[in-house]
Every structure is written in structure tokens, then in C-alpha cells.
């Protein structure tokens, strides 16, 4: 996106979509101001190298913790924590329930890095910046990514507190033409047109089902399709009905840009949603969704999700 500054007293004449000519008397100047460009491969390598200087750990597994689910990082042993504010040119998390730091250490005997706080388009970040940590992870040596989120249930057979294994997604921003891979493609990360039909690793989902059965989670473990919307407003009743008709089982405002970036650069992905509320599907319903409800459900189910993820990581 381009932003053009109008200079008082100057006449502008459009030359191209990216430039305009300003004339004053006999003088002539070209003006062009661009929005923040996505970083180069070398820039991301510098970010990765900087972060690794702050920890002795060299993880192969990363976990991105959603709203109210950051407690997983608190049980990491032998940990080093790095606040996002300490990392040059790194985004900041502004949402309640997102601490805004990376935690390195050991979980179930495996070296991991956990993000306590992710980034969202509604915070004003372009999708490439929402997905930036994933590319940083790639250059740190990450091979497997766990993504978690809080979501509203579109599927009426789900209940608040259910854990939904993500088998697919619908990206509403993507269908509207926005994508974290939009713009110049960096071939060193992946191809121009990556396939995402296998975005969520089937072997990891089967592992989750098996472990969930061992832990006695069958009564509240589901599997389904996650829909990403832009936010920050929650969905209208008509929108929820539409998303359900499209095949969505749960809806949220995150995760998909990270998954797309991960698959683009060859990282395998496991995703799961914590159902924190039932979306409003009836015009006679008086209740509304609120973020405090989301966080409270996250706190109640946090230990179960921690057990599931910990056991999965221990078996990798």
C-alpha cells in the first residue's frame, strides 16, 4: 500500500501507481512514500541470530500460545525468557492474556521455544508481520510448530471447554485477497505457490487422539475446521450462520497466517482450538461474547491442554 504526502503549494501530476510528480515553478520533484516493507531473508536471519545469542537452548519445536493459554510456557524447565521488547524490529503483543515474550527451555525432556503472546491483524499488523515469528523460527532450526488458540464454536454439537484438533482452515482474509505470503516471494523460504491442503499434519493429529484417549479426554476432544476472521469485533449472527454454512466448526482471529508461513517454509504443524464460547446464532439470544469469558475458559482448561501438548512433545 502506498501513501502519498501532499505538499502545500505544490501541484501533483500522477505518473505511475507508485509515483507522482510535484512541480513548483520550474522545479520538478518526484515523491513516493511506502508503507513498511516486509524484511529480507537476511534481516530475518539477523533477528534469528540475535535471539539465539540470548539463550543456550537450540530448539527444534516451537509452541505459539493463544489467549489465556500461555501457562504452558510457565512449566518449561531450565528456561530463558526474552521479552519481545528486547528484540530489535520485532512486533509487540497488545492483547490481554498475551505476555509478550519467548520462553526457551525443556518441556517433557525436549528443547522448545514458547511464544507467550502472538500478533493479530486487528492490532494493526500486516499479515507478513503477524507471521514473522514463524520465519524467525525456521532460521533458528524449528521443524515442528504447535499452534493453539481460543475460538468460538460454530458447530452446535461442541461445548464450551472442548478441545478441537484443527484438521483444516478457512482464511477469510485470504479469500478477500490478503495473505502473509503476498508480495515478493523469497525462494529460500519456499515456493511462490505453496500447497496448504495438508496444512495440519495427520500423524500429529492421530498422536493427539491417541494421547487424548489415554488421558481420558475423549468426552471433550473434537476435530474440525477453524475459520479465521479479521476482528476485533466479534461476528454478527448472520456472519456466524454463513461461516457454518461454509463448513466452519470454530471461529477465531488468529493462527492461520502463522500456519501458512510455516507450511511455506517446510515446518510441520499441529493446531488445536480451545472452545471458549458458543457463538450467537439466534436473534432472540440476549447474551454476548466477551474477552473475559474467553480468558476464564482458558484458565479452567489450561492444565488439560498442557498435559496433551507436553505428552505429544515428549513423544516426538
Q: Is the pLDDT of residue 175 over 80?
A: yes
Residue 123: active-site member: yes
Q: What's the grid cell of residue 190? A: 519456499
pLDDT at 22: 42
Residue 150: active-site member: yes
Residue 291: active-site member: yes
Closest CA to 265 of 194, 206, 175, 204: 194
Catalytic member of 57, 98, 169, 264: 98
Q: What's the grid cell of residue 163? A: 478441545
pLDDT at 7: 40
pLDDT, tens digit, 9 for 90 and up, residues 198-247: 999 999 999 999 999 999 999 999 999 999 999 999 999 999 999 999 99
Which residues neighbour 64 within 8 Å (Cβ) at sequence distance 6 or greater? 114, 115, 118, 133, 145, 146, 147, 148, 255, 258
Full set of structural domains in the chain with CATH: 1-35 (no CATH), 38-315 (3.40.50.1580)
Percentage of residues of the chain with pLDDT beyond 90 = 75
Beta strands in the chain (DSSP E): 2-3, 11-16, 19-24, 27-31, 33-34, 61-65, 77-83, 101-107, 110-116, 144-153, 163-171, 221-228, 250-252, 268-278
Q: What is the pTM of this model?
A: 0.87
Residue 254: active-site member: yes
Annotated binding site for a purine D-ribonucleoside: 235, 277
Closest CA to 166 of 143, 144, 149, 152: 149
48 close to 59: Cβ distance less than 8 angstroms: no
Amino acid at each position: 500500500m502506498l501513501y502519498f504526502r501532499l505538499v502545500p503549494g505544490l501541484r501533483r501530476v500522477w505518473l505511475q501507481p507508485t509515483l507522482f510528480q510535484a512541480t513548483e515553478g520550474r522545479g520538478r520533484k518526484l515523491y513516493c512514500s511506502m508503507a513498511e516493507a516486509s524484511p529480507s531473508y537476511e534481516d530475518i536471519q539477523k533477528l534469528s541470530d540475535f535471539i539465539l545469542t540470548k539463550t543456550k537452548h537450540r530448539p527444534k519445536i516451537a509452541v505459539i500460545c493463544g489467549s489465556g493459554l500461555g501457562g504452558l510456557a510457565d512449566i518449561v524447565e531450565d528456561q530463558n525468557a526474552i521479552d519481545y521488547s528486547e528484540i530489535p524490529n520485532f512486533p509487540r503483543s497488545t492483547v490481554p492474556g498475551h505476555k509478550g515474550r519467548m520462553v526457551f527451555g525443556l518441556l517433557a525432556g525436549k528443547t522448545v521455544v514458547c511464544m507467550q503472546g502472538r500478533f493479530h491483524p486487528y492490532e494493526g499488523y500486516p499479515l507478513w508481520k503477524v507471521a514473522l515469528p514463524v520465519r524467525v523460527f525456521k532460521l533458528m532450526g524449528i521443524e515442528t510448530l504447535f499452534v493453539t488458540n481460543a475460538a468460538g464454536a460454530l458447530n452446535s454439537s461442541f461445548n464450551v471447554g472442548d478441545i478441537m484438533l484443527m484438521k483444516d482452515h478457512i482464511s477469510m482474509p485470504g479469500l478477500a485477497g490478503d495473505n502473509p505470503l503476498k508480495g515478493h516471494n523469497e525462494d529460500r523460504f519456499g515456493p511462490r505457490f505453496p500447497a496448504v491442503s495438508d496444512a495440519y499434519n495427520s500423524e500429529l493429529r492421530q498422536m493427539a487422539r491417541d494421547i487424548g484417549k489415554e488421558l481420558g479426554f475423549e468426552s471433550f476432544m473434537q476435530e474440525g475446521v477453524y475459520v479465521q476472521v479479521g476482528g476485533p469485533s466479534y461476528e454478527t449472527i448472520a456472519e456466524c450462520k454463513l461461516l457454518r454454512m461454509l463448513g466452519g466448526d470454530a471461529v477465531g482471529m488468529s493462527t492461520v497466517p502463522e500456519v501458512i508461513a510455516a507450511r511455506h517454509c517446510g515446518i510441520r504443524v499441529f493446531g488445536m482450538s480451545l472452545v471458549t464460547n458458543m457463538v450467537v446464532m439466534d436473534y432472540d439470544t440476549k447474551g454476548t461474547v466477551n474477552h473475559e469469558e474467553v480468558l476464564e475458559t482458558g484458565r479452567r482448561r489450561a492444565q488439560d491442554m498442557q498435559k496433551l501438548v507436553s505428552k505429544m512433545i515428549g513423544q516426538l
